[in-house]
Amino acid sequence: MENDRKVNKLPLVWIGILAALGLGLVVVYGMGFAEGIFQDEDKASQQAEVGKPAPDFELVNLAGEPVRLSDLRGKPVLVNLWATWCAPCVLEMPNFQKYYENYPGSFEILAVSSGEAQDTVEKFVKDMRLTFPVVLDPQAKVYALYRFQGYPTSYIIDKDGVLRFQQIGLMDEATLENYLTQVGAIP
């Protein structure tokens, strides 16, 4: 009898997994990550593409002040799409902070959060002792514009505003250093 109960639970596990996957799709598409991508040629030409000018955007930081990517032209920028609940995102943040502190003013970081409450993001930033700019993207416009594929995703933009690298997944310290060196942010 005991074995019958274990066997009967297996379909429930699969139902739970499928429900979670379905919810994930609802979150991704419901938040607008995929909304409007390639609906027409004009919008497609505004999408992020390595080797081309990075699409401009304006979001607000945690203090409610506007931050525009194009205002940072003249120095390299690391744009990071992340979430507080994403384990690889949490793992790469200390390296971002380390390089931001060790090379002050040589490059900028814009950590873009979408779909999370501001107080959740603020607590994370405080707990992690992050000093680089964190901006909020409540409607996931940057996520769509930059063809978001998964957490975390980072983009390295050179001082002229050209998107040079896209990193999907965890960026380890060696890779971060390599990218920053190639765009002239660090010697």
pLDDT tens per residue, range 107-132: 999 999 999 999 999 999 999 999 99
Give the type of residue at 176: L
CB contact at 8 A, 63 and 135: no
Q: Name the percent of the chain lying above pLDDT 70.
A: 76
Q: In the structure, what pLDDT confidence band is assigned to residue 27 with cuts at 50, 70 and 90?
A: very low
Structure tokens at 57: 């955007």
* Residue 114: how many other CB atoms lie within 10 Å: 23
CB contact at 8 A, 77 and 47: no
Please give the tally of structural domains in the chain: 1
CB contact at 8 A, 179 and 167: yes
Q: Is 10 within the bounds of a domain?
A: no
CB contact at 8 A, 109 and 78: yes
Q: Is 75 within the bounds of a domain?
A: yes
CB contact at 8 A, 127 and 44: no
**CATH classification of the domain holding 96:** 3.40.30.10
**154 lies in which domain range?**
41-182
pLDDT at 97: 98
Quote the pTM value: 0.76
Q: Is 157 within the bounds of a domain?
A: yes
Q: Is 7 within the bounds of a domain?
A: no
Cis peptide before 187 (omega within 30 of 0): no
pLDDT at 3: 52
* CA 104/CA 175 separation, integer angstroms: 19
* CA 49/CA 71 separation, integer angstroms: 20
* CA 63/CA 45 separation, integer angstroms: 32
Q: Is 25 within the bounds of a domain?
A: no
Q: Is 29 within the bounds of a domain?
A: no
Mean pLDDT, range 40-62, rounded to an integer = 81
* CA 43/CA 41 separation, integer angstroms: 6
Q: Is 74 within the bounds of a domain?
A: yes
Q: Is 30 within the bounds of a domain?
A: no
